Chain A
């Protein structure tokens, strides 16, 4: 989510590039993305069929807000330590 949040709002990133950037296996990434999609933190868009298919991943406004809240919570926790 932090990687996707580094893009300007409304921009999407291909599954392949995201996988390269965060160095996760395809299977692990799919599982994480599915969970985040279920939570409506991100959306995926698939185009094409078969070997030529491409998946784009985009952070939703809700996801961006959740990440900001998470970062703020971490800051508060650290300040309280």
Chain B
């Protein structure tokens, strides 16, 4: 076998014949854990940063609409914070995924690439929001209830579908929780709905991060 540099001959590392079982087991476990961390496309730190970031930006939107009577929608500044945060989050997530996937080929990478198809859904929902506006729906619906809650219905539906395809209960339960959050956000109205969404998203991301830490240690 030849490597990229054309090197074919090199000294062989000594066999670990004298390694005791405990040391061998520790080496095996630490190698596996280190590899899992390096391949992880959703490292806990990223989820905790996302949790704080979305709590902040949804909080900013809620802050901008909290005293509106009648409701007109988030201010330009609040929307700039929200969309800026979403874009920054996407950039960071793409960078982390690219780094984790560097050198990896195969089915799981292809599956992850297909998930970028979710962007189509996001564009579709934005277009739908335009249709609501075009149909003269109230500002409370177009700029409040719909954008604050629909993302949860979408994400929840996606997770339930993934769980159903894989026959795995955790994604189905997570999906159910997200749909419940979307409904709760819608019921609380266009003002509180933003806050409910922000807190809900922060809790989901932080919970996901904590779960991954526990799973790593298991």
Contacts and interface: CB of A to CB of B under 8 A. Distances in A.
Q: Number of contact residues on A: which range applies?
A: 35 or more
Interface in B74-127: 102-109
Nearest to B10: A27
B36 A6 contact: yes
Contacts of A78: 21-22, 25
B12 A8 contact: no
For A12, A17, A27, A34, the residue with the greatest tally of chain B CB atoms inside 10 Å of its CB is A27
Contacts, number: 107
B4 A71 contact: no
Given A6-B39, A25-B10, A11 B4 contact: no
A60 interface: no
B35 A2 contact: yes
A37 to B, nearest CB: 7
B38 interface: yes
Contact of A11 (B3, B28, B104): B104
A32 to B, nearest CB: 7
A16 B103 contact: yes
Interface in A34-81: 34, 37, 44, 46, 51, 53-56, 58, 70-71, 74-75, 77-78, 81
Given A2-B31, A30-B1, A18 B107 contact: no
A19 B32 CA distance: 15
Interface string B1-33: 111111111111100000001101100100110
Contacts of A74: 21, 24-25, 28
26 contacts: A3-B31, A3-B32, A8-B106, A13-B105, A15-B4, A16-B4, A16-B103, A21-B34, A21-B35, A25-B10, A27-B9, A28-B10, A29-B3, A30-B8, A31-B10, A32-B13, A46-B2, A53-B2, A55-B3, A55-B4, A58-B106, A71-B25, A71-B28, A78-B22, A78-B25, A81-B22
Interface of B: 1-13, 21-22, 24-25, 28, 31-32, 34-36, 38-39, 102-109
